[in-house]
């Protein structure tokens, strides 16, 4: 894994966090499908992070190992 790719991946993962922070700022206490939005957007962020970790581990984990 090159340093450039690592920085790129950290930026991608951080964007999920930034999106979650932004969602919180826009959260007016409403419901979506009966669930408070305050609970839903972090849950989506967790699922997205898990998916991105899976993608990362498939593509980058062993890259550069010899």
Kindly list the residues in this chain that would bind another protein in the complex (CB under 8 A): 10, 13, 16-17, 20-31, 34-36, 38-39, 41-43, 45-47, 49-50, 53-54, 56-57, 61-62
Sheet strands (E) in the chain: 31-32, 35-36
Distance in Å, CB of 8 to another protein, minimum? 13
Residues 21 and 27: their CA atoms lie apart, in Å, by 10
Q: Quote the least distance from Cβ 53 to another protein, whole Å.
A: 5
Query: Using an 8 Å Cβ cutoff, are 22 and 45 in contact?
Result: no
Instruction: Pick between residue 8 and residue 61 the one whose CB is nearest to another protein.
Output: 61
For the CB of residue 6, give the shortest distance to another protein in the complex, in Å.
8
Instruction: Please provide the size of the chain in residues.
Output: 66
């Amino acid at each position: 894994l090159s340093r450039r790719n690592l920085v790129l991946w950290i930026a991608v993962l951080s964007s999920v966090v930034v999106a979650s922070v932004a969602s919180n700022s826009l959260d007016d206490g409403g419901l979506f499908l009966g669930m408070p939005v305050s609970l839903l957007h972090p849950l989506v962020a967790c699922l997205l992070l898990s998916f991105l970790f899976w993608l990362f581990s498939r593509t980058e984990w062993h890259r550069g190992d010899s």
